[in-house]
Amino acid sequence: MSAIPHPLAPEMRAVTGRDLAGLMLSLVIVVAPHAARAPWWVTALVLALYAWRALLARLGGPLPSRWALLAIAAAAMAGIWVQYHTLFGRVPGIVLLMLFSGLKLLEMRTHRDATVIALLCFFLIITNFFFTQSIPTALAMFAALLAIVATMVGFNAPQRAVRANLRTGAVLLAQAVPAALALFLLFPRVQGPLWGLPQDAYAGVTGLSESMSPGALAHVALSDSVAFRAEFRGESPPQRLRYWRGPVLWDFDGRTWRMGASVIAPFKPPAGGTARYRYEVVLEPHERDWLFALESAASLPDGARFTSDGQIVAPRPVRSRIRYRLTSVTDAAPDSRADTAELRRALRLPRGFDPRATALAQQWRRESGSDAQVLARAIAWLRASGIAYTLEPPALGRDSIDEFLFETKAGFCEHFSSAFVFLMRAAGVPARVVTGYQGGDLNPVDHVITVRQSDAHAWAEVYLQDQGWLRVDPTAAAVPGRIESELVRGSAPGVAVPLLMRPDMKWLRALRYDWEALAHKWNVWVLSYDPQRQRDLMSFVGIPDADWRNLTVALFTILGALMLGLVAWSLRGLSARDPVQRAWQGFCRKLRASGLERAPGEGPRDFSERAARSLPRARATIHRIGELYLALRYGADAPPAEVHELRRLVRELHLT
């Protein structure tokens, strides 16, 4: 515009200690959650850079030269390369952002640089959401946002008190909420991703996998993390019926059970059954395409497919939290479909493993007349076997099933189901291992069932002629308490149970239920808001089958109304008129109230003189008001003291 330095331009304004403090506070809040995720040396380096800048601000030294910073940046990038063999990807990207924040702080001189760091903070906030979007994280990041916005206000009002700037920041955020809500609900959502994602983009976890090797792991972690939550409409099924079906394992090589190939089949709802449950599942991301359903599913979620062995699979791996609706019937007739190839597969066993178990099974076969009798013998044998349930079983050798059944006699569901299916197959009864979750915690607050990774379970299905695939839970048969108990499973002595899951702390449990209920609401209403939910919302307000055009129109209408409201609200109490004119009109109003109307064409001087004559008690005041008004209205300047006097006189004028 001109060559004159602009005192409001950010590049003209030097950063003060106060600005630096605000930025560092914001950075510490947004970087803290990353500190544990980044390599230790990066965290240490970034903290050192922050400390260096703070020290320079305190001691008043000059900032390091550009070359020194470039050298640090190059060395750090080389370190990252050595660590990750790439500079892209999620974690390396975050590490780079952290480094830049420290380096930029060290070359920050003006408010322009400072604003760049504030923007960098926004990116550091969103990278936190890659890992967790929990309520505490959201609250911490909101606090950081307030700090950043208040600091930015401080850049633009250096003379103002910090508290006033903080208040302005809070007002800005509060005023942003309605528009943000409208955008969140109505901004046309696109199902991502828009392009290929880095290899490490997701970090979902699952307690289940495509394979199961009983005895390979000598210890199973009791993970407290949530696998999914199920919200039932009406009644929820009792604990012992809550079998959430997941992958089915068919192929055994003596050591490991594997899924093998699964065949997509047309979905056929199970026959019969009266215990019908309708529910909605909010599934945490787990990187696989499995969807979990209460056995037996009577409907499929939208877009999902069904395999011949009764699994429900999503069209793509579940990489973000998803929701789906289902109906299940817990007492339906068993699935009787089975082709011969499938039954052959359900009998296949590796040669040369576990001779004792094989012999036992063949003995049952010889002594029984039917598959059903073999099954009954097996269950009876398991009950009497005295095998203990433990989450810390001893490691097993080559003949893992023999060792488990006859020597160590201790294990958890994987051992039980593996051994049981082996025995069935060895006795000539088709059988397979089903994995999934069993049970789940019913929250009395909102009646949502939370299923955790620690509820992962494996059971068996055997095929009986005339009946079909029957569910048998060998773990429950051997250790009945394992399934019936509402208490923590596997609470063998010496196993560390997460604090909030301990059965002995009643109040903690209650607290946890409240928290879980809140977290579920958060998941459903905030975190899994998706195109589907958006359409549901639109049809709820009477626009069925809304597409992006409807949404955009609705969005802009609401945003426009909000902006108008905001403008009106922010201008409240501010008159567009001249205060002198306003005071004069107040004066005329007061005179009119006592019967003195200004005649058309009557000048202010004449009018005030007439008023003074007819209201002798207030004569002096009226005179002065007229005098001031004339001077202020027609004079060249308007001394504020006189404007204030006029306003005060009119305000204090009492005519009655």
Question: Would you call 11 helix, strand, or coil by DSSP?
Answer: helix
Structure tokens at 92: 């390396």
Indicate the residue among 220 and 527 with the shorter CB distance to another protein: 527
Question: Would you call 294 helix, strand, or coil by DSSP?
Answer: strand
> What is the sign of the dihedral through the CA atoms of 545, 551, 552 and 556?
positive
Identified catalytic residue from 111, 415, 457, 520: 457
* Contact status, residue 606 vs residue 620, Cβ threshold 8 Å: no
Amino acid symbol at 164: A
* Contact status, residue 88 vs residue 198, Cβ threshold 8 Å: yes
Indicate the residue among 428 and 586 with the shorter CB distance to another protein: 586
Please pick, from the candidates 351, 577, 600, 652, the single residue that binds another protein as defined by CB under 8 A: 577
Please pick, from the candidates 14, 563, 599, 620, the single residue that binds another protein as defined by CB under 8 A: 563
Instruction: Please name the residues in contact with 347: beta carbons below 8 A apart, sequence gap of 6 or more.
Output: 425, 428, 430
**Which region among 207-215, 385-393, 407-415, 577-585 touches another protein (by CB under 8 A)?**
577-585
Binders of another protein: how many residues, by CB under 8 A? 89
Minimum distance of another protein from residue 640's CB (angstroms): 4
Distances in whole angstroms, Cα of residue 586 to Cα of each of 582, 583, 594, 614, 626: 6, 5, 13, 18, 13
C-alpha torsion 360→361→364→366, nearest 10: -100
Indicate the residue among 110 and 327 with the shorter CB distance to another protein: 110
- The answer to whether 256 contacts another protein (rule: CB under 8 A) is no
501/440 Cα distance (integer angstroms)? 12
- Residue 18, Cβ density class (10 Å: 0-12 exposed, 13-18 middle, ≥19 buried): middle
**Which region among 210-218, 373-381, 472-480, 628-636 touches another protein (by CB under 8 A)?**
628-636
- The answer to whether 651 contacts another protein (rule: CB under 8 A) is no
Minimum distance of another protein from residue 645's CB (angstroms): 12
Indicate the residue among 81 and 525 with the shorter CB distance to another protein: 525
Instruction: Please name the residues in contact with 9: beta carbons below 8 A apart, sequence gap of 6 or more.
Output: none
3-state secondary structure string, 601-613? CCCHHHHHHHHHH
Minimum distance of another protein from residue 4's CB (angstroms): 4
Minimum distance of another protein from residue 301's CB (angstroms): 17
Minimum distance of another protein from residue 233's CB (angstroms): 24
- Residue 98, Cβ density class (10 Å: 0-12 exposed, 13-18 middle, ≥19 buried): buried
Minimum distance of another protein from residue 461's CB (angstroms): 35
- The answer to whether 138 contacts another protein (rule: CB under 8 A) is yes
- The answer to whether 59 contacts another protein (rule: CB under 8 A) is no
244/204 Cα distance (integer angstroms)? 19
Minimum distance of another protein from residue 476's CB (angstroms): 38
**Mask of contacts with another protein, 299-328, x by CB under 8 A?**
--------------------xxx-------
Structure tokens at 575: 């008159």
Going by the DSSP 8-state scheme, the letter that residue 457 receives in this structure is E
- The answer to whether 287 contacts another protein (rule: CB under 8 A) is no
The label of the residue with tokens 């906030």 reads 125
8/155 Cα distance (integer angstroms)? 10
The label of the residue with tokens 């050798």 reads 397
- The answer to whether 12 contacts another protein (rule: CB under 8 A) is no
Indicate the residue among 82 and 574 with the shorter CB distance to another protein: 574
Indicate the residue among 10 and 273 with the shorter CB distance to another protein: 10
Indicate the residue among 28 and 643 with the shorter CB distance to another protein: 643
Q: Segment 528-557, which members bind another protein (CB under 8 A)?
A: 528-530
- The answer to whether 619 contacts another protein (rule: CB under 8 A) is no
- The answer to whether 111 contacts another protein (rule: CB under 8 A) is yes
* Contact status, residue 381 vs residue 406, Cβ threshold 8 Å: no
Q: Kindly report the number of other CB atoms within 10 A of residue 252's CB atom.
A: 21
Structure tokens at 358: 């094989």
326/230 Cα distance (integer angstroms)? 10
Please pick, from the candidates 40, 507, 540, 634, the single residue that binds another protein as defined by CB under 8 A: 634
Amino acid symbol at 224: D
Identified catalytic residue from 34, 413, 415, 520: 413
* Contact status, residue 423 vs residue 360, Cβ threshold 8 Å: yes
Structure tokens at 61: 């030294």
Please pick, from the candidates 72, 401, 527, 591, the single residue that binds another protein as defined by CB under 8 A: 527
Please pick, from the candidates 197, 508, 511, 561, the single residue that binds another protein as defined by CB under 8 A: 197
Q: Segment 112-131, which members bind another protein (CB under 8 A)?
A: 112, 115-116, 119, 122-123, 125-126, 129-130
- The answer to whether 187 contacts another protein (rule: CB under 8 A) is yes
Task: State phi, psi for 456 to the nearest 5 degrees.
Answer: -55, 140
Minimum distance of another protein from residue 17's CB (angstroms): 19
Identified catalytic residue from 111, 286, 473, 520: 473
Please pick, from the candidates 136, 192, 493, 595, the single residue that binds another protein as defined by CB under 8 A: 192
136/138 Cα distance (integer angstroms)? 5
- The answer to whether 140 contacts another protein (rule: CB under 8 A) is no
Q: Of 515, 404, 400, 443, whose CA–CA distance to 136 is shortest?
A: 515
| Radius of gyration (C-alpha) of the chain in whole angstroms | 37
Instruction: Please name the residues in contact with 227: beta carbons below 8 A apart, sequence gap of 6 or more.
Output: 206, 207, 283, 284, 286, 292, 437, 451, 452, 453, 455, 456
Helix 355-367 with 371-385: angle, nearest 10 deg: 130
Q: Segment 465-484, which members bind another protein (CB under 8 A)?
A: none
Minimum distance of another protein from residue 191's CB (angstroms): 8
Please pick, from the candidates 235, 407, 484, 578, the single residue that binds another protein as defined by CB under 8 A: 578
Task: State phi, psi for 269 to the nearest 5 degrees.
Answer: -60, 145
Minimum distance of another protein from residue 628's CB (angstroms): 12
Q: In the annotation, is 473 catalytic? A: yes
Q: Of 168, 174, 166, whose CA–CA distance to 25 is shortest?
A: 166
- The answer to whether 108 contacts another protein (rule: CB under 8 A) is no
- The answer to whether 649 contacts another protein (rule: CB under 8 A) is no
Indicate the residue among 392 and 530 with the shorter CB distance to another protein: 530
Please pick, from the candidates 51, 71, 201, 333, the single residue that binds another protein as defined by CB under 8 A: 201
Q: Segment 141-180, which members bind another protein (CB under 8 A)?
A: 141, 145, 149, 152-153, 155-160, 164, 168-169, 171-173, 175-180
Minimum distance of another protein from residue 63's CB (angstroms): 21
Structure tokens at 439: 């049970």
- The answer to whether 632 contacts another protein (rule: CB under 8 A) is yes
Q: In the annotation, is 111 catalytic? A: no
**Which region among 21-29, 55-63, 107-115, 305-313 touches another protein (by CB under 8 A)?**
107-115
Please pick, from the candidates 540, 576, 617, 652, the single residue that binds another protein as defined by CB under 8 A: 576
Which residues are known catalytic residues?
413, 457, 473
